[in-house]
Structure formats: C-alpha cells, structure tokens
Amino acid sequence: MKSKNIYLLFFSAMVFMSSCIYEDGPKMSFRSKKARAVNTWVIDKAYGGGVDNTDATKTAFVNYKLELKNDDNYRLSYRPYNLLDYVETGTWDLSDDKLYIVFKPANTTQENKSKILRLKNHEAWVIVNVNNKDVELHLVD
C-alpha cells in the first residue's frame, strides 16, 4: 500500500512539473494560468535587444497599469511621456496553447498578442511589440 502511495505522489508531482510551458517558469503551480494572470500589473523592468531599457520605457509609459480582470475584461492606462492620459479597454484571454495573452481592444477588430515568458502569482514576464520592436516587460503587482 505504501508503494502505491509513493507512486501516486511521484506521478502527481511529474504531472504538475511538466505543466510548465513558459520559458522562465514557474516549474509548478497549483493555480491556473488564468488565475495567475488576473491581477493589476505595473512595469518593473524592460529589455529590448538584451539591453536594459527600463528608464526609457518608464519615461514613455508613465504610470503604466494593466488590469486583467476575472470577467475577461482589461484596462490599460498610462501617460505617454507624461503628456496625456491614455486608456484602453477591451477583452482578454489566453491563446489556446496558453503561450500568449490575447487582447481585443473595444470597438475594433484588432487583436494584440503578448508572449508569456513567465507567469507567477505576483510576477509576469511578457514580450510585447512596441513600434515594431520586441520589448520584454517584467511586470509586478
């Protein structure tokens, strides 16, 4: 009986560990990917071409805040170069393969995707396209 429990525990651990599909983790989580994504995110770090562009990104996107809500709606707000308020709302979801967050802004047919590199409860790393350049954002709550 003990050996059955050990095998069951080992098998369960392997299933959870193999469920990580993101390059940078986490290796294991008991929360669903969507539950981990639902949060209010702000920029912690930004990288472009392997170079730290945090200061330039935070200057371009002052008070950046991305709210991913449980009802599949989102709200993105920031002040471009601290000049005007920018607010975008719409719906969001994970792609079928769970590798991207897909944003659909309200009143458009546009669809924007952000590749997920890491998705933890209080930390997310994504690649977004800004002016035709990939930027890696490290977001925190």
pLDDT digits (tens, 9 = 90+) for 51-97: 999 999 999 999 999 999 999 999 999 999 999 999 999 999 999 99
pLDDT band at 24 (very low <50, low <70, confident <90, very high): very low
21: helix, strand or coil: coil
Q: Answer whether residue 6 shows pLDDT above 60.
A: no
Listed in order, strand segments (DSSP E) in the chain are 39-48, 51-52, 61-68, 73-80, 86-94, 100-105, 112-119, 123-130, 133-140
Please give the Cα distance from 107 to 24 (Å, whole number).
34
pLDDT of 3 higher than 60 = no
Q: What is the pLDDT of residue 18?
A: 39
Which domains, ranges and CATH numbers included, belong to the chain?
Answer: 30-140 (2.40.128.540)
Which residues have CB under 8 Å from 66's CB, separation 6+? 40, 41, 42, 74, 75, 76, 139
What pLDDT is attached to residue 31? Answer: 84
Token pair 């998705």: residue: 119
Portion of the chain with pLDDT greater than 90, in percent:
74
pLDDT at 134: 96
Task: Decide if pLDDT at 26 tops 60.
Answer: no
Alpha helices in 41-138 (DSSP H): 54-60
The rounded percent of the chain whose pLDDT value lies above 70 is 79
Instruction: Label residue 14 by pLDDT band (50, 70, 90).
Output: very low
Q: Which two tokens stand for residue 24?
A: 């940078």
Q: Specify the pLDDT at position 16.
A: 47
3-state secondary structure of 30: coil
